[in-house]
Amino acid sequence: MRFVDEFRDQAKAQALSAEIAALCERGREYKLMEICGGHTHTIYKHGLEDYLPETVTLVHGPGCPVCVIPTGRVDDAIRIAQQDGVIMTSFGDLMRVPGSTGSFLDANARGTDIRMVYSPLDSLKIARDNPDKRVVFMAIGFETTTPSTAMTVLRASREALQNFAVFCNHVSVIPAIKAILELPDLRLDGLIGPGHVSTVIGCRPYEFVATDHGKPFVVAGFEPLDVLQAIYMLLMQLHEGRAQVENQYTRVVPWGGNAAALDVIDEVMELRPTFEWRGLGFIPHSALALRERYAAFDAERIFDLPGVRVADAKVCQCGEVLKGAIKPWECKVFGTACTPETPIGTCMVSTEGACAAYYNYGRLSRRRVRVGET
């Protein structure tokens, strides 16, 4: 299949693997973070670590939209869904995220009508087909999905739909990267940058990583060869003593981003003063809310929400996983009390969550490439 097979080519992977091993200095450990959960998924789904020297450690970052949703926001969403005449729509991987009284699936078993959609625009069709109900779209995600939520609000506004609203939980990736880089204990050598977010925001916003923190940063695509090449590019920068923002995903990501998409976001949404992230706590200017002029579509203004901060389960170490402080399997409940079936934390729910990716695909003792072997 075109655009897929050529990015999964074994011969190319082997060649790249040899070059990566050759770039690694003997006795030096490399710690690279992939920001985006999509990359974590790719790494485990294709068994990419089989191609890496054991001295290269991939640390999983906070870029999984479902993972960073705090419990309180899930509870708020369920509260909205429980109101009379509400149909809530949501992306599929949110359905099993645990709130303090269970997930959307559990809520449905108790009578709510929360439906899975593939696009926020599908919610408008449901709203048109159910004029006696109010349809609320549970909007989550980084800049990748924000433009489509904003477009949906614009379209609803143009159609003057009276029975559609958005529960906006969109977050921004840059403040999260800043928060990660300011953590005292995390010694990263380089970062693999999010690919699809960058199609919207471009590569310039990452320049502080290189200039202020002196770390190489490579925006990467989501096929396994993309990620392997990005690792090679990071190691090359380290080898040459450079720290720059580079773009591996040039077939999709324009350096300057997508101005039209950014305009749509800016038209509909504004930065919140602060927003809670699971694991990372409150981060200022890290999330978006609907602007006043779209208040008619804003579930937070329409419904009376508890909006309380709910502490995560004590045993759950999602926060440490999201910060890259521990590997998924180092969490005390990983794979025992917390599994994809009985998730305690969000990282075990989403396919992009590091715990779910490791549990579903990665539970193996691997033979790793030795530095100097090739």
Partner 1 sequence: MTDERRVLQRIDEFRRRKPRITDDQRITSSHGAGGRAAHGLVEELFLKAFRNPLLEPLEDAATLDLDGSRLAFTTDSFVVSPLFFRGGDIGDLAVNGTVNDLAVTGARPLYLSAGFILEEGFPIKDLRRIVASMAAAAERAGVQVVTGDTKVVQRGKADGCFVNTAGIGLFEREVQLSATRARPGDAVVVSGPIGDHGIAIMLARDELGIETDLSSDTAPLTEPIALLLDAAPGTRCIRDATRGGVATICNEIAQASNVAVVLDELRVPVRPEVRGASEILGIDPLYVACEGRFVAVVDSVQADAALKALRTHALTESATLVGHITADPPGLVLLNTEFGGTRVVDMLVGDPLPRIC
Q: Which of residues 255-274 bind partner 1 (CB under 8 A)?
A: none
Tell the smallest beta-carbon distance from residue 21 to partner 1 (Å). 15
Q: Which residue lies nearer to partner 1 by CB, 109 or 308?
A: 109
Closer CB to partner 1, residue 44 or residue 249?
44
End-to-end CA distance of the chain: give it in Å, rounded: 31
- Contact between 108 and 114 under an 8 Å Cβ cutoff? The reply is yes
Query: Contact region for partner 1 (CB under 8 A) — 5-13, 26-34, 57-65, 269-277?
Result: 5-13
Asked whether position 318 contacts partner 1 by CB under 8 A, the answer is no
Q: Is residue 366 involved in binding partner 1 (CB under 8 A)?
A: yes
Question: Is position 14 an interface residue for partner 1 (rule: CB under 8 A)?
Answer: yes
Distance, CA of 236 to CA of 290 (rounded, Å): 43
CB 361 → partner 1: shortest distance, Å?
4
CB of 321 to partner 1, least distance (A): 14
CB 279 within 8 A of CB 263: no
340 binding partner 1? (CB under 8 A): yes
Q: How far is the C-alpha of 193 from the C-alpha of 219, rounded, in Å? A: 4
Binding flag, residue 360, partner 1 (CB under 8 A): yes
- Of 76, 351, 353, 355, the residue at the interface with partner 1 (CB under 8 A) is 351
Q: Is 92 in the site for partner 1 (CB under 8 A)?
A: yes
* Structural contact between residues 121 and 148, judged by C-beta atoms closer than 8 angstroms: yes
Contact flag: residue 45 with partner 1 (CB under 8 A): yes
**23 touching partner 1, by CB under 8 A:** no
373 lines the binding site for partner 1 (CB under 8 A): no
Of the candidate residues 39, 46, 60, 196, the single one contacting partner 1 (CB under 8 A): 46
In the list 105, 259, 308, 315, the residue contacting partner 1 (rule: CB under 8 A) is 105
Minimum CB distance to partner 1, residue 146 (Å): 19
Q: Does 370 bind partner 1 (CB under 8 A)?
A: no
CA distances from 139 to 100, 115, 116, 117, 147 (A): 19, 13, 12, 11, 11
Q: Does 294 bind partner 1 (CB under 8 A)?
A: no
Provide the angle, in degrees to the nearest 10, between the axes of the packed helices 224-240 and 37-45: 110
Q: Quick check: 341 binds partner 1 (CB under 8 A)?
A: yes
- Do 138 and 94 form a contact (C-beta atoms < 8 A)? yes
If the CB atoms of residues 83 and 108 are measured against partner 1, the closer one turns out to be 108
Do 139 and 108 form a contact (C-beta atoms < 8 A)?
no
| Binding residue count for partner 1, defined by CB under 8 A | 47
CA distances from 46 to 50, 54, 347, 362 (A): 9, 17, 19, 9
Token pair 């645990």: residue: 98
Residue 129 binding partner 1, by CB under 8 A: no
d(CA 166, CA 140): 10
Which one of residues 48, 177, 287, 289 is an interface residue with partner 1 (CB under 8 A)?
A: 48
Q: Does the footprint of partner 1 cover residue 4 (CB under 8 A)?
A: yes
Tell me the closest approach of the beta carbon of residue 4 to partner 1, in angstroms: 6
User: Of 26, 84, 118, 184, which lies in the binding site for partner 1, with binding defined by CB under 8 A?
Assistant: 118
What is the distance, to the nearest Å, from the Cα of residue 140 to the centroid of all Cα atoms in its chain? 10
Site residues, partner 1 (CB under 8 A): 1, 4-5, 8-10, 13-14, 44-51, 92, 95-96, 105-106, 108-110, 118, 122, 224-225, 327, 329-330, 334-336, 339-342, 351, 359-366
